[in-house]
Amino acid sequence: MNPQKPSFSSSISTFTILFNCVISLLVVAKTTSDHDFPHFESSTSFIKPLDNPKNQTPPRPPPPPVPPLSPPDCTVWTSACSEEVLRLAKNPENTEWLKSIRRRIHENPELAFEEFETSKLIRHELDNMEISYRFPLAKTGIRAMVGTGGPPFVAVRADMDALPIQEAVEWEHKSKNAGKMHACGHDAHVTMLLGAAKILKAREHHLKGTVILLFQPAEEAGNGAKRMIGDGALENVEAIFALHVSHQHPTAIIGSRSGPLLAGCGFFRAVITGKEGGAGNPHHSVDPVLAASSAVISLQGIVSREANPLDSQVVSVTSFNGGDDLDIIPDNVVLGGTFRAFSNTSFYHILQRIEENRPGFSDALQQSTSEKEYTIYPPTVNDEKMYEHIKRVAIDLVGPTNFVVVPPMMGAEDFSFYSEVVPAGFFYIGIRNETLGSTHTGHSPHFMIDENVLPIGAATHATIAERYLNEHG
Ligand SMILES: [Zn+2]
Ligand SMILES: [Zn+2]
């Protein structure tokens, strides 16, 4: 995902404390209701005779044995079902497994469409879980399946690619690939989806349909989602969900919103070529610097003079390069920039206006069609019902104080390609821990995560999928 500027209030740290309290209470509730109960009984019978040693009343017969707690029947979802999923996720053995997976992926980051070892690791783990899958989609992508094999089909997606960044964090599992780093948390995304796969497989008898697990390449560059869709990732799928880690939220706080969440993002580049004057009149040339300058002015006018000021949009020229000589008009000028908007209508309108802006500019843009094709992310828009589903699941799983409604952000995500095809829900999960130092934005060489998020993310993914099938199957 393209990085975001911090925009949340610092009061959110309150949630960490509240969240920790909720988790502690859950742990206490489980231990006292389960293994500690017989111990409590025997202590009581030991104390009683001391209170009245001469009392000859025969001791009470021992209470009937407490039957072991059976997992809840989740035909109708209750909070006991959420607790059961959390228990599976937070089992110490499972937590260690999640950390080891994440660290192995972190040590070996791979760039877009080169996720060969990452993909191999995922397939190996799926094989161990006896989960079937289709491979490859979009070169290194995987489409795995858990459940009945029949409808409804609900998908959960994780992205696998890393960034061309040299890791600056010194720790035991630092990237071993020079100049490459999981600086956007996609190693954690893959791990949490594998964690969800394990939970869902353990609960497969509860599933009233099929969960599709999508491991996707090239989110950062190359529009991997678009190629996954082209290769059948969304076949039969009626809804899709995904998460992104966020340094803006304390660990395991979940945030989302209904409607536009992330902006559509496009990049444009054009070559404006001049024309030489006639042999007898070299000063009558078409000057590409003047033409390009005029194009910049026109481009700046698209948002400032044409767009609704209440509908956030951006068009920025960020690159302008001509010749190096000071005494000659260059043959051409290369200019480029970015544009962003929150609605599909506004986004594609801007694109159309950039193409229309000037005949010369339009011609040049047309010539770079392939580049334009690979550098457009539409807006990520959360379907209202999918957002409500995420919210319900999150509140039940982590508590109402650990769910927040977030504002729209100008970053972009290629998850938007899925959201153009089926109802979609995208959410954030916090990884911010001041003590650990996981406070840096994505795409920073100092980026790191709080690994305590892994079981919670896995449980959230699994519950979102299982409850969706429960309510739609
Ligand atoms: Zn990113
Ligand atoms: Zn990302």
Tell me what pLDDT residue 28 has: 32
Residue 338 to residues 2, 210, 225, 300: CA-CA distances in angstroms?
A: 12, 39, 20, 11
Going from the Cα of 220 to the center of ligand 2, the distance in angstroms, rounded, reads 7
Going from the Cα of 403 to the center of ligand 1, the distance in angstroms, rounded, reads 23
**pLDDT over 60 at 5, yes or no:** no
Going from the Cα of 442 to the center of ligand 2, the distance in angstroms, rounded, reads 7
The answer to the question of whether 186 is labelled as a binding residue is: yes
Rounded to two decimals, the pTM is: 0.79
Q: Of the ligands numbered here, which is closest to the C-alpha atom of 442?
A: 1
Q: Of the ligands numbered here, which is closest to the C-alpha atom of 415?
A: 2
Tell me the three state secondary structure of residue 11.
helix
The answer to the question of whether 184 is labelled as a binding residue is: yes
| Mean pLDDT, range 343-370, rounded to an integer | 67
| Mean pLDDT, range 239-244, rounded to an integer | 98
The answer to the question of whether 356 is labelled as a binding residue is: no
Q: Which residue bears the tokens 């919670």?
A: 456
Q: Of the ligands numbered here, which is closest to the C-alpha atom of 4?
A: 1
| Mean pLDDT, range 149-164, rounded to an integer | 98
Going from the Cα of 181 to the center of ligand 1, the distance in angstroms, rounded, reads 11
What is the rounded distance in angstroms from the CA atom of residue 269 to the CA atom of residue 321? Answer: 11
| Mean pLDDT, range 328-346, rounded to an integer | 88
| Mean pLDDT, range 105-125, rounded to an integer | 98
Going from the Cα of 9 to the center of ligand 2, the distance in angstroms, rounded, reads 22
Going from the Cα of 185 to the center of ligand 2, the distance in angstroms, rounded, reads 6
Tell me what pLDDT residue 453 has: 98
Going from the Cα of 186 to the center of ligand 2, the distance in angstroms, rounded, reads 6
**pLDDT over 60 at 35, yes or no:** no
Q: What are the pLDDT digits (tens) for 176-186?
A: 999 999 999 99
Q: Cβ-count burial of 320 within 10 angstroms (0-12 exposed, 13-18 middle, 19+ buried)? A: middle
Q: Of the ligands numbered here, which is closest to the C-alpha atom of 265?
A: 1
**pLDDT over 70 at 407, yes or no:** yes
CB 247 within 8 A of CB 425: no
Going from the Cα of 83 to the center of ligand 2, the distance in angstroms, rounded, reads 29
Tell me what pLDDT residue 6 has: 36
What is the rounded distance in angstroms from the CA atom of residue 424 to the CA atom of residue 327? Answer: 56
Highest mean pLDDT among 8-12, 55-59, 274-278, 387-391: 387-391
Tell me the three state secondary structure of residue 103.
helix
Going from the Cα of 184 to the center of ligand 1, the distance in angstroms, rounded, reads 5
Going from the Cα of 444 to the center of ligand 1, the distance in angstroms, rounded, reads 10
Give the relative orientation of helices 92-107 and 116-128 as an angle to the nearest 10 degrees: 160
CB 176 within 8 A of CB 108: yes
Tell me what pLDDT residue 99 has: 98
The answer to the question of whether 446 is labelled as a binding residue is: no
Under the banding of pLDDT at 50, 70 and 90, the label for residue 282 is low
Under the banding of pLDDT at 50, 70 and 90, the label for residue 144 is very high
Tell me what pLDDT residue 327 has: 86
Going from the Cα of 442 to the center of ligand 1, the distance in angstroms, rounded, reads 6
Q: What are the pLDDT digits (tens) for 457-471?
A: 999 999 999 999 999
Q: Cβ-count burial of 244 within 10 angstroms (0-12 exposed, 13-18 middle, 19+ buried)? A: buried
Q: Which residue bears the tokens 């979009």?
A: 138
Going from the Cα of 2 to the center of ligand 1, the distance in angstroms, rounded, reads 5
Q: Cβ-count burial of 325 within 10 angstroms (0-12 exposed, 13-18 middle, 19+ buried)? A: exposed
**pLDDT over 60 at 54, yes or no:** no
Tell me what pLDDT residue 278 has: 59
Tell me the three state secondary structure of residue 214.
strand
Q: Of the ligands numbered here, which is closest to the C-alpha atom of 186?
A: 2
- For the ranges 349-358, 404-413, 433-442, the lowest mean pLDDT is seen at 349-358
Give me the percent of the chain exceeding a pLDDT of 90. 63
pLDDT, greater one: 269 or 423: 423
Tell me what pLDDT residue 213 has: 99
Give me the percent of the chain exceeding a pLDDT of 70. 80
> How many residues in total does the chain contain?
473
| Mean pLDDT, range 74-79, rounded to an integer | 92
Going from the Cα of 4 to the center of ligand 2, the distance in angstroms, rounded, reads 10
Label residue 220 left, alpha or beta by phi (over 0 means left) and psi (-120 to 50 means alpha). Answer: alpha
Nearest to 426 by CA among 415, 436, 435, 417: 415
Q: Of the ligands numbered here, which is closest to the C-alpha atom of 244?
A: 2
Q: Of the ligands numbered here, which is closest to the C-alpha atom of 216?
A: 2
Q: Cβ-count burial of 126 within 10 angstroms (0-12 exposed, 13-18 middle, 19+ buried)? A: buried
Q: Of the ligands numbered here, which is closest to the C-alpha atom of 380?
A: 2
Tell me what pLDDT residue 173 has: 98
- For all residues of the chain together, what is the average pLDDT? 84
- For the ranges 112-116, 222-226, 372-376, 423-427, the lowest mean pLDDT is seen at 372-376
| Mean pLDDT, range 225-238, rounded to an integer | 98
Going from the Cα of 457 to the center of ligand 2, the distance in angstroms, rounded, reads 15
Nearest to 398 by CA among 295, 290, 232, 252: 252
Going from the Cα of 186 to the center of ligand 1, the distance in angstroms, rounded, reads 8
Going from the Cα of 80 to the center of ligand 2, the distance in angstroms, rounded, reads 33
**pLDDT over 60 at 67, yes or no:** no
Q: Of the ligands numbered here, which is closest to the C-alpha atom of 160?
A: 2
Tell me what pLDDT residue 68 has: 53
| Mean pLDDT, range 94-111, rounded to an integer | 98
Tell me what pLDDT residue 323 has: 86
| Sign of the C-alpha dihedral computed for residues 441, 442, 447 and 449 taken in this order | positive
Going from the Cα of 248 to the center of ligand 1, the distance in angstroms, rounded, reads 14
The answer to the question of whether 130 is labelled as a binding residue is: no
